[in-house]
Each structure stands twice: as C-alpha cells, then as structure tokens.
Structure 1
C-alpha cells in the first residue's frame, strides 16, 4: 500500500472510529432515557417482538453521523460545496427531529410526511444548483420521500435495518473511493460505523429499537449519498441503487400488493417478507440472514459489475430487480403456504 493511500486512509479511519464510539455511547444512554420516559414498544399482533423494548435508539446514529459526516465532506480530499453539506445536515436534522417527536408522542401521517418531503426537497434543490437541470427535482423529491418511508417500513425485526445500512453505507463508500471521491467515501463509512455502534445493542435479542428518529434519518441518508454519487458520475446511480435492492423490492412490492388487494396500505401490518419469515417460525436472526445472503451473493457482485462496466449499469440494475421480484414472489408464496398448512395442522 502506497504512502499516498495510507495518508488518505488514516484520517478516514480516525473519523470512522469516532463515529462508532459516539453511536455506542449515545445508544447506551438512550436505553436508560427510554426506560425512564416509558418509551417502550409493547408486543402485539402486528409486531414481531415478544418483550417490551425501548425505542428511539436511532438518536445515537444521528448524533454520531452529523458531525463526523460533515467533517469528512468539509476536510477530506474532493470536498463538497458548502451549500450541499449544510442542506444535507439540515435535511437529516429535520427528519430526525420529526421522528424523535413521533417516538415520544405519536403524530398524524400528514405532518410527518410533509416534513419528510420538505427535507428531501431542500437537499435536492441544493444538489441541483450546479446540476443537470431542474426537471430532475420532482423525481429526486419523490425518491427521497420514498426512501425515508421504505426504511421506516423495513425496520421491524432485530438488527435488520442496522445491518442493511452497514452494507449499503460500506458499498457506497467503496464506489465513492473508486471514483476518487475520498470525502464522500468517508461520509458513507461514518454512516456505516454509526449503524454498527447501534447494531451492538439492536442485534437479536434487541435491547433497544431504532424508532422513527433512526429509520427515517437512515432513509434520507441512503438517498442523499446515492444522489451525491449520481452527481459525481451519472452511471454510478446504477450500482448505488443495486445495493439497496433488498429493501426497495420488499417494501415496494408489499405496498403494491396491499394496494392491489384493496387493503388499508397506510396502516401497520406484518406482510413484508421479513415479517413472514418470523411468522412462519424463523428467528429475527434468521430473517436478517436472508437479507445478508441476498446482499453478498447477488447485490454486491452485480453492483461491482455495474461499476466496472458502466455500459452495462442499467442492464445490471434491471436484472437485479427482476431477479429480486421473482425471488420475493416465490419466497412469499412458499411462506404463506407453510403458514396455512400449519394452521390446518393445528386445527386438525
């Protein structure tokens, strides 16, 4: 390893370690805070856990990410413009604040969604100031709002969202590093490190849940970091989107399926694939392992292909989501059939 590479890696390693330690400490404090305030998620028919568990631990991720990510984007090589960094921090803080409020006192859907759209719009506007054109703004805002909500939907079993954010954050860091974006690579790794600190308390059996303060913030950050890669080089959007294929597929197909069947798609439910795995008798660790398998065996190799062969990026992305759709339908059908068989067996 050359001295130049070591010189670039050393500050990243330091900031990433700081991000991990901050998250570890704040999440530990959040457990005590949630117990004191009675911020506990109770077991229920639409929830997969069996014991009352504190929520709001995602505040540790937010407190960790805001300063460390900003330091990377400001001071590491290939720094980002001031307006892009400030709006990213502001957007993250807005989503975190409305989520933290909701974790304390449940809020109606419209105020939460309004703040989420505002946050996505603020960041997207700043990203396009020197960008390809304002026609991209509506698409970016929709993508940002959907990312915030789908990550909230997918935060339902121990360790799942944290491990997904570790994978996506690390993958985005590799893409940014290979594209010469050291600052963006460092920022992405800070997100992954903060999630690792949270995961230490959230792995099964979880001592604390992330809450809306964490899930919404991570959804905004995954969108923002992916969009920043797109601004670096348009072709980088395909490997970035491939990295998130497990969550995007499960959340999107579950939502569309509920809408197609005329169900109240906006209410809480247990119909995501990971929830069916647990309903069929699998542990939370088993459910999370399914997504690890997809990420390592499918998403990572195809993202690498899309990066190394830019001309095949769109094709690799289409293949990834086509395969993910087939796998989702096959797995869901098999799990539902087993559940029905188990019900019949119990009644007989």
Structure 2
C-alpha cells in the first residue's frame, strides 16, 4: 500500500476527530443539548450536532478527489451539493426545529440530484427513479435509526467497508473515506456519548450511503437487490416499524421508541450491548454480500430475497418477544 494513501487515510481520520471535538465545544457554547424524555433513549442532557464533522470531512475529501480526478468533478460537485442540502436542513433543524414536510422537500431535491447522476451514468430512467425513492427513504431511515449511542455510525462504517470491497478503484475510495470519517467521530459517541450526531449527521449519512449504493449500481454488475443486504438491519427495523405505525393510525413522523433497538434498551439492555449486537449482525450481512457478489444476477437476487426474508423473520420473532413492552 503506497505510503501516500496511508497518510491520506490517516488524515481523514484525524480531521474527522478534530472537527468532532470542535463541534462538541460549539454545541456546549450554544447550549445545543438533547434533553432526556419519554420518547428518547438517553438519560442525561447531551450536546448534539456532531455529525457536521463527518459532513465536512466528506466534503474536504470530495474536494481532494476533484483535484486528483478532474473527470469526476461534475459528479463530485452534484453529489456534494446534495450532501450540503441534506446536512444544511439538518443543521437548521438542530438549531431551530422545522416542519417535517419542509425537511422532506429538501431531501427530495437532494435525492433528485443523485438520481440525475444515475440516469446520466446508466441511461436508465427507471434506475434513476429507483435511486430517487431509495435515497429519499434512506436519508430518513438513518435519521429514525440514530437513537442510541453508536448505532448509526457503526452501521455506516460497515456499509462503507462493504461497498469498498466490491467496487473497482478509484471508486472504492468513496467507501473507505466514509468509513474513516465515521470512525473519527465514533469515540465521541460510543460507548459513552459525549455528543450526538444530530439531524445534520444522521440525514447526511443516509444520503452518503445512498450515494455509495448508487455508485455501486453503475460501477459493478451486482444485482440491485443484493446491494440492499449490507443495510438490511436498518431497512428491516425502520421499514416494518414505520409500517406498523402507519397501519395502526399513529403519526409515524413523530419521535417514538418503537424500533426494535429502542425496545431492547427499554427492556434493560444497554446502548453498548444493543449497538454491538447490531454490529455483529451487520458483519454477517456484509459477509453474505461479499461472498455472493460474483454470482449470476438471478442468484444474487435469490440470495438477497432470502437474506431479507430471514432478517424480517428474526425481526418479527424478537418484536413478538417484546410485545408486552409498553409503547411510547
């Protein structure tokens, strides 16, 4: 491995950690604190907005990539603009809460930018439409699932590694940089949370991971269903929890503690343990993904459907075991 690449990766890690430290001091000065409550999973007031460090690190890395690969400048500019939009509306919401519809509109615009890149690269409008819907969904899924120490960050690290392992160079660097940017933030958030990611970070992470999925869809021959496998823990927990809330007539956009990981915490499992269990499941997911990424498309789709079905069954089994836990 060239020493220059190693130095660059260490720089990404250091910049993210330094910016997180700065974000924490900014939040303390501005009194940007998440207070404990019935619909939250933490017990002490904690600074928020630390995810801005991950966003800025990714933008700086994108700037460096634009210098190294001039041919990719337009794609980097468009995807970077989408990241700024998602992070910007999240930063605003962290300081002054906004209506959910207003945030969603910005998310759709950012997703449309990414979908446009997919259309340009693939020439397939249906693939672009799928990218639009998927990106909009994943921005909000990552936001919904960022409820306990380290869970959103560790799952993002796993996703970055998973896609870096299957994409050709230099595209694989996008996954490595995302994983390192998250790794620099992680010690401030796990196992003890000295700062939360905030909406600025959780939504932006969802967008960044969606961008990785879209990049993998146009730079590899992997079936799009298999590309969902590294994200299966979050997709299943968020998807079915939100579906159950909708079917029961609840206001699904409101904060709650009904996700499986939140129910586990309410039953007495610590943040550290629950995040670790999700991480272990994520390791299994990316192992299946990597092992099956060279199969014929129909077999990749079959593996993906089987894995997502298995994940859904596990979710239903665990949720049934917690059915006596009072919802909030």
Common fold: TM-score over 0.5 = yes
d(CA) in 2 for partners of 1:215, 1:293: 21
Partner of 1:71: 64
Q: Contact conserved, 1:59 with 1:213, CA < 8 A, in 2? A: yes
Q: Contact conserved, 1:69 with 1:186, CA < 8 A, in 2? A: no
d(CA) in 1 for partners of 2:83, 2:184: 19
Q: Contact conserved, 2:66 with 2:73, CA < 8 A, in 1? A: no
SS in 1 for 2:307: helix
d(CA) in 1 for partners of 2:290, 2:66: 24
Q: Contact conserved, 2:32 with 2:47, CA < 8 A, in 1? A: yes
Partner of 1:309: 295
Q: Contact conserved, 1:227 with 1:237, CA < 8 A, in 2? A: no
d(CA) in 2 for partners of 1:113, 1:95: 9
Pairing of 1:136-285 with structure 2 (within 5 A):
136-176=127-167, 181-235=168-222, 237-285=224-272
Q: Contact conserved, 1:94 with 1:119, CA < 8 A, in 2? A: yes
Deviation at 1:306, TM superposition (A): 2.3
Deviation at 1:70, TM superposition (A): 4.2
Deviation at 1:191, TM superposition (A): 0.7
Deviation at 1:295, TM superposition (A): 1.3
What CA deviation, in whole Å up to 9, does each residue of 1:160-180 have, x standing for no partner?
00111111111111111xxxx
Structure 1 gaps, min length 5: 1-5, 341-348
Distance 1:164 1:263, change over 3 A: same
| Aligned pair partner of 2:84 in 93, 101, 118 | 93
Deviation at 1:74, TM superposition (A): 5.5
d(CA) in 1 for partners of 2:286, 2:133: 25
Question: Higher Cα Rg: structure 1 or 2?
Answer: 1
Deviation at 1:37, TM superposition (A): 0.6
Deviation at 1:204, TM superposition (A): 2.3
Distance 1:96 1:269, change over 3 A: same
d(CA) in 1 for partners of 2:279, 2:88: 30
Q: Contact conserved, 2:41 with 2:148, CA < 8 A, in 1? A: yes
What number of residue pairs does the alignment pair up? 325
Regions of 4+ moved over 6 Å: none
Q: Contact conserved, 1:305 with 1:313, CA < 8 A, in 2? A: no
Partner of 1:43: 36
Distance 1:132 1:11, change over 3 A: farther
> Mean Cα displacement is larger for which, 26-35 or 50-59?
26-35
Partner of 2:47: 54
Deviation at 1:82, TM superposition (A): 2.6
Pairing of 1:12-51 with structure 2 (within 5 A):
12-51=5-44
TM value normalised by structure 2: 0.94
d(CA) in 1 for partners of 2:127, 2:48: 36
TM value normalised by structure 1: 0.89
SS in 2 for 1:290: helix
Q: Contact conserved, 2:158 with 2:286, CA < 8 A, in 1? A: no
d(CA) in 1 for partners of 2:271, 2:116: 39
Q: Contact conserved, 2:16 with 2:181, CA < 8 A, in 1? A: yes
d(CA) in 2 for partners of 1:324, 1:112: 30
Deviation at 1:68, TM superposition (A): 1.2
